[in-house]
Chain A
Amino acid sequence: MKFFLSIVLILLINSVSYSQKSTSIIEKKASSIETTLGSDIVYRAHLSGLVKYNIFKNITIATQTNLARSYKSMGEIVSISSDNFQSINFTYTQRFGVGVVIGKERFNHTFLVMAGPKYYHLKETHNYTQIEEASTTVSTWFPDAGFLYSLKIGKQDSYFTTQLYVPFLLYPDNLMGITLSVGIGFPIIK
């Protein structure tokens, strides 16, 4: 826990230092919304909406809504017959964060530290004739936190964006939380 708090502090301190006496073109307050579609490294598709707002020079705050759903059956991953066993899971995450924007208006990088609640839902059913129980369901909330990188290319009323999300605590089994997505962004306030 100390290590991750230290990462947060480092990012905040460095973002403040980079914002001082900066002559980057990104000095005016601006906000944008970016919608992206992507995947994690195993089996979930992700749909995200990211709203960013520059509050001071290169400092930006953001909120992201993320919906993810499994698109592979367990039978495609492990030795379970897909005909007999079905497993569906989806997540809803609402993250809030702060970070720094580096670059020019037409081409820039946004580095954010994000955190927020995540809702997880799992439903499993089977129709094995020799097994008695039919289904199980799990629904729970838990915290989610990580780094979000967003690349912006373009200056028009819409622009190309790609995003990479990496959770804190990658090891041992949060590698599935790494998400890469692409989409379109729209300036809201210029």
Chain B
Amino acid sequence: MIVNKKGLYITHTISGLIILLSYSCTNNSVEMGRQDSFTLNSSHTESTYSIHVTLPNNYSSSEVYETIYTLDGNWYFDHVSEESFRISEQKSKQNEIVVGINHADRRMIDYAPTPTNEGEGGAANFTRFINEELIPYIEEHFQADTTRKSRAILGHSAGGLYAAYLFTNQNDLFANYFMLSPAIWYDDGVLLQYERDNRSKNELSEQTVFISKAELEPTQLFMNIFHDRLEMYDQISLGFYTVKGKQHASSAKPAITEALKFYYSLKEK
């Protein structure tokens, strides 16, 4: 096949320019507060976690701030920090301390309530790390409010499963739960059993729960059932959102944005 070399040269040059133009970026930087990073060793999980913290941009040592703990921090901490700042500014609400917990390649150990082919059932030990090591560290070193109602936990997929586990089995730690595409199907829906077992105790607590699912993901039945169960709770502010046209993983960031919009809309200040 003989082709026009001059024509090829021109088209390849145009192609390269198109590629360069397509990668031109707009400035989307967000002016947030100071950020801090450190590692924490856990005696309960025998593992070391990288922790990242974003402080509100008007952070003051004379104030106390509410806190959002983000699971899979290595994936979602930046997005949660940026969206928390942006949405709180939009709604004229006080921004919060955002804490990101990197999963250290242990997510299917730490986030799994029971041992199965997919996970190793380390959620109980990870909860001890959160309750006895991480939260005390955050509240000692930063101006974090120490009450249950001031703490939020955010997780997607296995992280959402763990957030649901905290809701059912350790409801005294957090009052605000963002369960994004939570893996409620895990171990034949063991979370549904936990919810039923602990319902009489948990339904008396005032709390906020936001559940999201992707329109195109499987195992939605379990998420629907979990949501329907929580609708029976008297003291709950419940949000349920479907990310249209998205599958499981690609729904995470849009779901985070919607979760934070829901959360800040409910806050008084």
Contacts and interface: CB of A to CB of B under 8 A. Distances in A.
A, B: real partners: yes
Interface of A: 2-3, 5-6, 9-10, 13-14, 16-18, 20-24, 74, 78-81, 84-85, 87, 89, 102, 120, 122, 124-126, 128, 130-133, 135-136, 138, 140, 142, 169, 172-174, 176
A124 B7 contact: no
A10 B1 contact: no
Contacts of B142: none
B105 interface: no
Q: How large is the interface on B (under 10, 10 to 19, 20 to 34, 35 or more residues)?
A: 35 or more
B37 interface: no
Interface in B165-201: 185-189, 192-193, 196
Contacts of B23: 3
Contact of B117 (A22, A79, A138, A172): A79
Given A13-B14, A17-B3, A17-B4, A81 B225 contact: no
B185 A78 contact: yes
B22 A79 contact: no
B249 A142 contact: no
Given A23-B2, A74-B218, A140-B216, 20 more contacts: A9-B18, A13-B11, A16-B11, A17-B3, A17-B7, A17-B8, A17-B10, A20-B7, A78-B219, A79-B188, A80-B185, A80-B188, A80-B219, A122-B216, A131-B189, A133-B224, A133-B228, A140-B245, A173-B247, A174-B250
A102 B218 contact: no
B106 interface: no
B11 A14 contact: yes
A13 B24 CA distance: 21
B131 interface: no
B18 to A, nearest CB: 5
Contact of A6 (B19, B189, B244): B19
Interface in B17-35: 18-19, 21-24
Nearest to B247: A173
B121 to A, nearest CB: 12
B15 interface: yes
Given A17-B4, A87-B218, A130-B193, A81 B188 contact: yes
Contacts of B245: 140, 142
A124 B18 contact: no
A84 B188 contact: yes
Nearest to A81: B188
Given A2-B22, A84-B188, A142-B245, A24 B1 contact: yes
B169 to A, nearest CB: 18
A120 B216 contact: yes
Contact of B116 (A13, A79, A87): A79
A110 to B, nearest CB: 15
Nearest to A3: B22
Nearest 8 interchain pairs by C-beta: A6-B22, A172-B249, A173-B249, A17-B11, A124-B221, A79-B116, A173-B247, A2-B22
B261 to A, nearest CB: 22
Interface string B193-222: 100100000000000000000011011110
A18 B216 contact: no
Nearest to A123: B221
A6 B250 contact: no
Contacts of A142: 216, 244-245
B220 A136 contact: yes
Contacts of B132: none
